[in-house]
Amino acid sequence: MLRTDAHTLEIVIPKGQGFFPAGHDDVVRSDDAPLHAGDHVDVPGMHVTVLDPGDDGPARIRFVFDRDLDDPALTWITQGTPLFRDTAPPRIGFGEALDQ
C-alpha cells in the first residue's frame, strides 16, 4: 500500500497474485468482463481505478477518497492475529505492507 497524497492510496500486488482472484467463481470474473487499465468504479466517498489489470486479477489499484486519509472521522483497521487492530495509513510518499 502506497500513499501518494493526502487523499490517495495505491495497492500494489506481488506478481502472480491478484487483489481479487480472477476466475469464474471469484469476485473478478475476468471471463465475463475483463478489467482493463483505466477501468474505474465510483462509490460515495471513494473513486477506484485499475492501473494494472494483472494476469491473475487486478495487480495495481488506486483509491482516491473524498477526504484526507488523516481525517479523525475515519477509522483504519488491519486484520491481524488473532483480531483486528487499529492502524493508520502510511505518511504521504511512504508505503506499508498489508500482510503483516
Strands 46-52 and 60-65, by their bridges, are antiparallel
Q: Which residue has 490517495 as its cell numbers?
A: 8
Three-state DSSP at 18 gives coil
Counting DSSP H helices and E strands in the chain, the numbers are 0, 7
Rounded Cα–Cα distance for residues 60 and 38 (Å): 11
pLDDT beyond 80 at 29: no
Q: Quick: pLDDT tens for 38-70.
A: 999 899 999 999 998 887 777 899 999 999 999
- The pLDDT score that the predictor gives to residue 24 is 53
Domain boundaries, the chain: 2-67
